[in-house]
Amino acid sequence: MTIDEPDEIVDVLQDVALPAGTPVLRDLDLAAHYSVAREPGEAAGAWFDVVPLAAGRVALVVGQAAGSGVGAAVAASGVSAVIRAGLLCHEDAAA
């Protein structure tokens, strides 16, 4: 797969920054919808994530990187990955 255009880069980054679906959790019904309100190539830096934790806990994360375009999409995907990793590696940080 070759990605040559900024619009394609933005779309790929947003796809990987957002969860593919919501996890099935005991005692919690989740639904999510993300609707992009932008022109092609003008990605917003918004993201969300649902991270199941130990002892039946769950972290709901919503974020917004400043700006638009490839820079915002890169920032959003990077920050969301760091937050997820931090929550999973240091669950006491989620308390």
List, for residues 10-68, the tens digit of each pLDDT value: 777 777 767 777 778 878 888 877 776 666 556 667 788 888 888 888 888 988 887 77
Burial class of residue 14 in the structure, from the number of CB atoms within 10 Å of its CB (0-12 exposed, 13-18 middle, 19+ buried): buried
Round to whole Å and give the CA distance between 91 and 82.
13
pLDDT at 89 exceeding the cut of 70: yes
Q: What is the pLDDT of residue 35?
A: 72
| Predicted confidence band of residue 77 (pLDDT cuts 50, 70, 90) | confident
